[in-house]
């Protein structure tokens, strides 16, 4: 797609609306940290920033969407951490989900608590333009990848499909007729909460099309995030799962000392911490998914 065609299609919501509908009907790695942006919060867990969701990158082709949906697993067992993308992202069987399904349907209530801790987590990734970042103003004016959960994605879909007749639908990813997103973070019951976040009034990101084209051309290819290289094979995941949970028969030395506990916290992968920042808000969907897996067997 050329930049001229991108502008010509400005305001058209048909493609995105169909993509959202497809997501709602579906049952359905590696990362360069410098490419990702994450808002910083204060000691009380509060923070704010303003971003603009960007259209699909030219690198992803005519049919590319401005977001990618990824399921992942992130939990710690007696054999260490398991931090991996879930194969259900690609509509393939996942040994971790199968293991969780067996636990969920075992009839043992304690097993359900285990599943809740190690179930798959839903995240979306999109290109964003940093309009304002009070904690790190050096990020302003840059294009970054932004990982977010269902709560923020719901706000995007609500902007596209408003509930009330006096509200006009907008394409949040449109450079000319979209709107800035005011990200407002609070700490509620120990978790980051995004309920106060909202879209501003529709406006052009910039008045200079030449600058907008530069921004568009600097976007990252989202298709690379869901490429095969970002996912382990079924057998590789199964081997990792068995090791982490001690299911391979190997004896795992007990870790009970204060020093060991401190070391576990200190060495926890950053991706594991990031994955837990926004709790999964689609728990009912995921837990029902495990029940359906058992019905299919």
Domain CATH number, residue 179 = 3.90.198.10
pLDDT at 250: 61
Find out whether 192 and 186 touch, Cβ atoms under 8 Å: yes
d(CA 213, CA 210) in angstroms, rounded, equals 5
User: Which of the residues in the chain have pLDDT under 70?
Assistant: 13, 15-33, 249-297
Question: Which of 37, 18, 32, 244 lies closest to 135, judged by CA?
Answer: 37
Pairing of strands 181-188, 143-148: unpaired
pLDDT at 17: 63
Q: Which two tokens stand for residue 272?
A: 């594991």
CB contact burial 226-250 (16+ within 10 A = b; e otherwise): beeebbbeeeebbebbbbbbeeeee
Residue span of the structural domain in which 125 resides: 3-296
pLDDT at 2: 77
Find out whether 231 and 89 touch, Cβ atoms under 8 Å: yes
What is the domain count for the chain? 1
d(CA 240, CA 247) in angstroms, rounded, equals 10
Please give the C-alpha separations between residue 2 and each of 56, 58, 63, 207, 272, in angstroms, as whole numbers. Answer: 12, 8, 13, 19, 38
- Which residues does residue 69 pair with via DSSP β-bridges, in sequence order? 124
3-state secondary structure of 192: strand
pTM: 0.75
pLDDT at 28: 34
pLDDT at 275: 45
pLDDT at 8: 78
pLDDT at 80: 92
pLDDT at 295: 56
């Amino acid at each position: 797609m050329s930049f001229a065609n991108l502008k010509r299609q400005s305001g058209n919501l048909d493609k995105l609306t169909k993509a959202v509908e497809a997501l709602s009907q579906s049952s359905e790695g590696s990362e360069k940290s410098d490419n990702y942006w994450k808002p910083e919060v204060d000691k009380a867990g509060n923070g704010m920033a303003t971003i603009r969701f960007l259209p699909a990158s030219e690198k992803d082709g005519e049919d590319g969407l401005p977001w990618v949906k990824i399921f992942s697993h992130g939990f710690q067992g007696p054999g260490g951490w398991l931090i991996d993308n879930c194969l259900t992202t690609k509509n393939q069987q996942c040994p971790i989900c199968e293991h969780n399904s067996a636990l969920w349907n075992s009839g043992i209530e304690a097993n359900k608590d285990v599943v809740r801790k190690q179930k798959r987590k839903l995240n979306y990734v999109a290109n964003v333009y940093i309009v304002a970042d009070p904690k790190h103003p050096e990020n302003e004016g840059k294009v970054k990848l932004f990982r977010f959960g269902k709560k923020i994605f719901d706000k995007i879909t609500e902007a596209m499909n408003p509930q009330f007749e006096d509200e006009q639908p907008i394409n949040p990813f449109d450079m000319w007729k979209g709107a800035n997103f005011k990200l407002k973070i609070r700490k509620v019951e120990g978790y980051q909460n995004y309920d106060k976040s909202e879209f501003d009034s529709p406006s052009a990101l910039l008045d200079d099309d030449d600058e907008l084209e530069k921004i568009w051309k600097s976007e990252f290819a989202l298709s690379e995030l869901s490429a095969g290289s970002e996912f382990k094979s079924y057998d590789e995941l199964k081997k990792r799962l068995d090791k982490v949970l001690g299911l391979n028969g190997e004896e795992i030395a007990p870790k009970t000392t204060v020093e060991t506990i401190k070391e576990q916290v200190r060495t926890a992968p950053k991706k594991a911490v990031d994955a837990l920042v926004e709790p999964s808000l689609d728990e009912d969907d995921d837990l029902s998914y495990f029940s359906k897996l058992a019905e299919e067997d």
